[in-house]
Structure 1
């Protein structure tokens, strides 16, 4: 890494259409760009994009997002061979919201690459830059007001540094992954993550309840949950306020647990007093509506949950993960997510076909999942079935 060259990369503000299209032309001429975003979403449903940072390898661009129509900019990024991000979850959420595009296939999340090299799943950007490149970054401006104009000198330096070293970090990480023969695995998991984020961003209101369901909920409670969560989502969008400003997660749990039939009963939960006054009647109405539904109109139940504490399959499963980890040089904690294990247990208990494999087990993990993990779990099929019934 030529640190002097990196530190001397020019920083260019993009504030008008001419500047934006010059940047788009430059993006069209390179194979890799590094990106980051700064946004505000503390008091709104929709995040307010304040800044997009772009490193083309030739310059660092600070795109003044509130002043510009970025549709052609998003289109150019969709076409670039590789978009490099670090911990891209929230960034791609905004990208999908504003660009309204199909799932991205050109994402490389360097945080995933670092995880493959170190086993650290949530290593921060400044930590990675320090450990890999030996550069210490100032993170003091992360919570500042990114909509303020002009930005302070410190804000501008922070924003530029978020992508200044990202291409170098990408190249160093890519080289190490190539040496470890795991680069293709990281590309695959980056694409998997980008597709999962697209699914989350485009989930229908009627399906959002699945995130909040609990194993002990009855079909009536699940029907109430579906209605309240969908209603809250529509309202939050309409008034552009965070969902939790309407009903917090804790209050939602209490409402479904108690199923209040009156405003007085609803008031015993931790729902915001302002929300109780504004929306209490509607919440009670939705609960009563769910209670009067015929069984044929209940929403789909969430996937069953393995409840038993007896997991005699865990030790052999751990051994299989350890053996595969050593065989392909991938940290154990990246091979089999807990969610995937839950889905495999359902597959075994219900004798589901292989096309029900989790998406994450349909790539490089596929043969191992089919030829090693599933046969291992099928040896414990009776116990697994009993675990869902207990």
Structure 2
């Protein structure tokens, strides 16, 4: 560790009264740095082992295994006057959603910010701290069991430094972004990340993302949707990973077969005997539901992958994005998210309607890169 760690002020909070007192203190501050430690090896939901908060001086380690009154922290996480600073926060969002039932707001992600501040994409926490503070951070406790008690001194120090240093980096990064007039860009992308998290958490919204789902018939797609949503509910109920209920490939295979008896179920890909015994009847019940529907109640066919003829157009758009990103000195991956390329190419190729509901398609990005692409590559 660095010499600057010697005076590290670590405070352990393991009761409701202390948490309330600290939340009252943090509610008076404009900014706090936040991190979480959790394990998720064999469960659907993350098991929270620790929550760390710092204003840059004191590192408060909150023990979720001994606290059961979370209203003060919930109120803090949605306090509009307190900015919550994270680094690479997508998994932290899951922790707070599970533990508190809310997503932090307002919040700021320094990994997103650095894509604009220095043009470095997906920068690790270790490299971020070295970039701004010239401090080498050890990550030897990354794989620790954060649910063990007591935590070791090394674990506590590791967890504390995650937020103390983050609080120190935040104003330095903000200054760089303000100099480039890109602070709002980073904040917008944080909101886009939150929107994407909600979409990814909703099986009604992402069932069609199963690989090669587009190959299925409307009847098969209808079964896929029903099984996908059921699987999510079952995984939540059992608190196990979704793949332990049924893998995506198994869902797809069942949707292709449309089995009406147990022998047909056994032909599904990557289906274990245990899964067949536990869930075979449910699978048949869902197939029966689909069979009772009329054709006009089936799911509409999904779009096929882009044809090979669009390859050259995709390359030209990527080159255009890289050139524009270089001009602005930002990461090309931040300039145009990978998932936005296909709908743009499809629209330009065959006139498919654009979906403007994704916040990553609006805001600064629409005027800065989306509209220029549409103008540059529109058919004559």
5+ long unaligned stretches in structure 2 = none
User: Does the CA contact (< 8 Å) of 1:182 and 1:330 recur in 2?
Assistant: no
Q: Distance in 2 between matches of 1:256 and 1:275?
A: 16
Q: Does 1:221 align with 2:220?
A: yes
User: Does the CA contact (< 8 Å) of 2:93 and 2:104 recur in 1?
Assistant: no
Q: Does 1:108 align with 2:108?
A: yes
TM-score by length of 2: 0.88
Q: Secondary structure at the match of 2:53?
A: strand
Moved over 4 A (4+): 3-7, 300-304
Q: Secondary structure at the match of 2:65?
A: helix
**Residues 240-298 of structure 1, C-alpha deviations (whole Å, 9 max, x = no match):** 22211111233334333444444333334212321111112222332343345312221
Q: Which stretch of structure 1 is more off in the superposition, 104-113 or 122-131?
A: 122-131
User: Does the CA contact (< 8 Å) of 1:117 and 1:177 recur in 2?
Assistant: yes
**Residues 85-134 of structure 1, C-alpha deviations (whole Å, 9 max, x = no match):** 01000101222233333x65411101112222444432221232234322
Q: Distance in 2 between matches of 1:351 and 1:256?
A: 27
User: Does the CA contact (< 8 Å) of 2:119 and 2:329 recur in 1?
Assistant: no
Q: Secondary structure at the match of 1:74?
A: helix
Instruction: State the Cα RMSD in Å.
Output: 2.6
Q: Distance in 2 between matches of 1:327 and 1:121?
A: 16
The correspondence for 1:207, drawn from 188, 205, 208, is 205
- The Cα of 1:327 is off from its aligned counterpart by 3.9
Q: Against the structure 1 CA distance between its residues 257 and 157, is the aligned structure 2 distance closer, same or farther, given a 3 Å change threshold?
A: farther
Task: Look up the match of 1:379.
Answer: 379
Q: Distance in 1 between matches of 2:21 and 2:236?
A: 35
Q: Against the structure 1 CA distance between its residues 33 and 242, is the aligned structure 2 distance closer, same or farther, given a 3 Å change threshold?
A: same
Task: Look up the match of 1:36.
Answer: 35
User: Does the CA contact (< 8 Å) of 2:314 and 2:341 recur in 1?
Assistant: no
User: Does the CA contact (< 8 Å) of 2:199 and 2:206 recur in 1?
Assistant: no
Task: Look up the match of 2:86.
Answer: 85
Q: Distance in 1 between matches of 2:163 and 2:205?
A: 36
**Residues 53-95 of structure 1, C-alpha deviations (whole Å, 9 max, x = no match):** 0012231101111222212212112214311001000101222
Task: Look up the match of 2:235.
Answer: 236
User: Does the CA contact (< 8 Å) of 1:361 and 1:369 recur in 2?
Assistant: no
Q: Against the structure 1 CA distance between its residues 330 and 123, is the aligned structure 2 distance closer, same or farther, given a 3 Å change threshold?
A: closer
Aligned residues: 374
**Residues 172-210 of structure 1, C-alpha deviations (whole Å, 9 max, x = no match):** 322333333322221221222123223434x2x433412
5+ long unaligned stretches in structure 1 = 381-390
Q: Distance in 2 between matches of 1:121 and 1:300?
A: 37
User: Does the CA contact (< 8 Å) of 1:206 and 1:227 recur in 2?
Assistant: no
Q: Distance in 2 between matches of 1:267 and 1:120?
A: 48
- The Cα of 1:18 is off from its aligned counterpart by 1.9
Q: Against the structure 1 CA distance between its residues 345 and 33, is the aligned structure 2 distance closer, same or farther, given a 3 Å change threshold?
A: same
Q: Distance in 2 between matches of 1:336 and 1:78?
A: 29
Q: Does 1:127 align with 2:131?
A: no
Listed as ranges, the matches of 1:155-304 within 5 Å are 155-201=155-201, 203=202, 205-212=203-210, 214-268=213-267, 269-302=269-302
Q: Secondary structure at the match of 2:41?
A: coil
Task: Look up the match of 2:321.
Answer: 321
